[in-house]
C-alpha cells in the first residue's frame, strides 16, 4: 500500500494517490484513473509524447493548454465544449476569440489516440491529461488524472462570455469560482498557473497609463515593471503584442508568480489584487504569502485545485467524439 507521504522525484513533486484523495475533495465517483487501462493502455504515454513534441516546437503552448482546460471547465463543466466549432462556438466568445490557443495540439493528440484506440477516449479526457502534462513537463507537480468524462453535445457561447476576467474585482472572481463549486484557495492556487506563459497588451495596458480615469497608472504596479511594460505596450500600440507573466522564468512552472506579487510585479490586475487589494487582506493575501515561501505548498494546493476543477460536471449526457471539433453524426 502506498503511504501518505509525498516525494520529490526528478524535480517534480509526486503526491501519492491516497494522499491526493485525502486532501482533495469533490472527486466524481464515476471517474477513475484506470478506466482506460484495458481499452487504451497506451493513452497516457501518447498524450505525454504529443504534448512534449508540441512544447519542443513552442514552449508557450504549455501555458496555453492549461488555459484551454480552465476555459473549458468553467463553461458546462469539463466536457470539451470549448473545442466545438460552429455559430455558437465558445471559441468566438469575447474572452476566447483570437486569444485561447492549443486547438491544433488537441487535434493532433486526438488523431494519435484514435489511431491506437478508436472511439474509446473522450476529447474532454485528452484535454485534461494534456493540461496535466503541460505542468509536469514544465517543472511542476505530477498527479494521476481521474478519467471517464464524456464530450458535451452543445457549446455555450453566452456562458463563455462570463468567464472570470482580468478586469474584474476580487469579489466577482471569487463568486464565479464558488458558482462552479470551487473556493478561495482554488482562486489563488489556479491563478498560480500564471507563473508561465504570456498575456496580450490588451489584457493589462489599462494599468499602464490611465487606470482610474485620472491619467495615472495602477499604483500597485512596481515602477520598473511599469516602465518596461510601457515600452512594450505604448499608447495606441498593437494590443496583440505579448509580455511574459514572469520574466525571470518565462516557461518554468514554479512559485515565482507569488514572489512577484509581493513585489508589485503581477502582470494582470486580477493577479495583483490577490495580494494588494483591500479585500485580499481577509481572503487571499495570506495564501499568496504562504505560496511565495513554499513551492511545495503551492504545488500541493495547485494539484488539488486542478483535480477539483477537472471534476466539475455539467450533469448532461455526452459522447466520445470522433473529431473534437464536431459532435458525432
Q: For residue 128, tell me if it sits in a domain.
A: yes
Q: Which residues of 71-95 are buried (b: 16+ CB within 10 A; e: fewer)?
A: bbbbbbbbbbbbbbeeeebbbbbeb
Decide if pLDDT at 78 tops 50: yes
C-alpha R_g of the chain: 19
- For the ranges 4-13, 109-118, 188-197, the lowest mean pLDDT is seen at 4-13
- Is 246 annotated as a binding-site member? yes
Helix runs in 137-268, H state only? 157-160, 170-179, 184-191, 223-232, 256-262
pLDDT digits (tens, 9 = 90+) for 129-168: 999 999 999 999 999 999 999 999 999 999 999 999 999 9
**Per the residue annotation, which of 12, 67, 69, 71 is the catalytic one?**
71
- What pLDDT does residue 11 have? 43
SS (H, E, C) 207-228: HCCCCCCCCCCCCCCCHHHHHH
69 is an active site residue: no
Q: Give the length of the chain.
A: 329
Q: Report the share of the chain in percent with pLDDT over 90.
A: 86
φ, ψ dihedrals at 198, nearest 5°: -140, 165
DSSP string, 284-323: THHHHHHHHH-HHHHHHHHHHHHHHHHT----S--B--SB
12 labelled as ligand-binding? no
**Residue 144 per-residue DSSP state:** P
Contact 316, 153 (CB under 8 A): yes
pLDDT tens readout for residues 293-303? 999 999 999 99
The answer as to whether 61 is a domain residue is yes
Using CA atoms, how far apart are residues 303 and 297, in angstroms rounded to an integer? 10
Q: Which residues of 111-123 are buried (b: 16+ CB within 10 A; e: fewer)?
A: ebbbeebeeebbb
| H/E element, 48 | helix 43-57
Residue 265 lies in a domain: yes
For residue range 248-260, list pLDDT tens digits in order. Answer: 999 999 999 999 9
Residue 177 domain-assigned (yes or no): yes
pLDDT, the chain, mean? 92
Q: Residue 192 annotated as binding? A: no
Residue 151 lies in a domain: yes
On whether 195 is known to bind a ligand per the annotation, the reply is yes
Return the C-alpha cell found at 57. 516546437
77 is in an annotated binding site: yes
Dihedral (CA of 190, 196, 201, 204) sign:
positive
At 65, which helix (H) or strand (E)?
helix 61-73
Residues β-bridged to residue 13 = 8
- Residue 196: its pLDDT value, please? 96
Residue 231 lies in a domain: no
The answer to whether the pTM exceeds 0.75 is yes
Question: Using CA atoms, how far apart are residues 179 and 177, in angstroms rounded to an integer?
Answer: 5
Q: What number is the average pLDDT over the span 171-193? A: 97
Q: Confirm if 196 and 245 have CB atoms less than 8 A apart.
A: yes
145 is known to lie in a ligand binding site: no
Q: How many domains does the chain have?
A: 1
Domain ranges, residue 112: 42-197+245-311
Is 33 within any annotated ligand binding site? Answer: no
Largest CA distance in the chain: 63
Mean pLDDT of 213-225: 93
Measured between alpha carbons, how far is 92 from 100 in angstroms, rounded to an integer?
10
The helix or strand, by DSSP H or E, that contains position 115, with its residue range, turns out to be: helix 103-116
Q: What is the CATH number of the domain that holds 137?
A: 1.10.520.10
90 labeled binding residue: yes
Lookup: cell for 239: 494590443
- Tell whether 31 is covered by a domain: no
Residue 232 domain-assigned?
no
Cβ neighbours of residue 269 closer than 8 Å, sequence gap 6 or more: 166, 167, 204, 206, 207, 218
Burial class from Cβ neighbours inside 10 Å (0-12, 13-18, 19+) for residue 236 reads: exposed
69 is annotated as contributing to ligand binding: no
Amino acid at each position: 500500500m502506498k503511504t501518505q507521504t509525498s516525494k520529490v522525484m526528478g524535480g517534480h513533486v509526486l503526491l501519492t494517490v491516497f494522499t491526493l484523495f485525502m486532501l482533495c475533495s469533490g472527486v466524481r465517483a464515476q471517474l477513475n484513473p484506470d478506466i482506460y487501462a484495458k481499452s487504451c493502455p497506451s493513452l497516457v504515454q501518447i498524450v505525454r509524447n504529443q504534448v512534449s513534441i508540441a512544447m519542443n516546437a513552442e514552449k508557450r503552448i504549455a501555458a496555453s493548454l492549461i488555459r484551454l482546460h480552465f476555459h473549458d471547465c468553467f463553461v458546462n463543466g469539463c466536457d470539451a465544449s470549448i473545442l466545438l466549432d460552429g455559430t455558437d462556438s465558445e471559441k468566438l466568445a469575447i474572452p476566447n476569440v483570437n486569444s485561447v490557443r492549443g486547438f491544433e495540439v488537441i487535434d493532433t493528440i486526438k488523431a494519435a489516440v484514435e489511431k491506437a484506440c478508436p472511439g474509446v477516449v473522450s476529447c474532454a479526457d485528452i484535454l485534461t491529461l494534456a493540461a496535466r502534462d503541460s505542468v509536469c513537463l514544465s517543472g511542476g507537480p505530477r498527479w494521476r488524472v481521474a478519467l471517464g468524462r464524456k464530450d458535451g453535445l452543445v457549446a455555450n457561447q453566452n456562458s463563455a462570455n462570463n468567464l472570470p476576467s482580468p478586469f474584474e474585482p476580487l469579489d466577482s472572481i471569487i463568486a464565479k469560482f464558488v458558482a462552479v463549486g470551487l473556493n478561495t484557495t482554488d482562486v489563488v492556487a489556479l491563478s498560480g498557473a500564471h507563473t508561465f506563459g504570456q498575456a496580450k497588451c490588451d489584457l493589462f495596458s489599462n494599468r499602464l497609463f490611465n487606470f482610474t480615469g485620472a491619467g495615472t497608472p495602477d499604483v500597485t504596479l512596481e515602477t520598473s515593471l511599469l516602465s518596461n511594460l510601457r515600452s512594450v505596450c505604448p499608447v495606441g500600440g498593437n494590443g496583440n503584442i505579448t509580455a511574459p507573466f514572469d520574466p525571470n522564468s518565462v516557461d518554468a512552472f514554479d512559485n515565482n508568480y507569488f514572489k512577484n506579487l509581493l513585489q508589485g510585479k503581477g502582470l494582470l490586475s486580477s493577479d495583483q489584487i490577490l495580494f494588494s487589494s483591500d479585500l485580499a487582506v481577509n481572503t487571499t493575501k495570506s495564501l499568496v504569502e504562504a505560496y511565495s515561501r513554499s513551492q511545495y505548498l503551492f504545488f500541493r494546493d495547485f494539484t488539488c485545485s486542478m483535480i477539483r476543477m477537472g471534476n466539475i460536471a455539467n450533469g448532461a449526457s455526452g459522447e466520445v467524439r470522433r473529431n473534437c471539433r464536431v459532435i458525432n453524426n
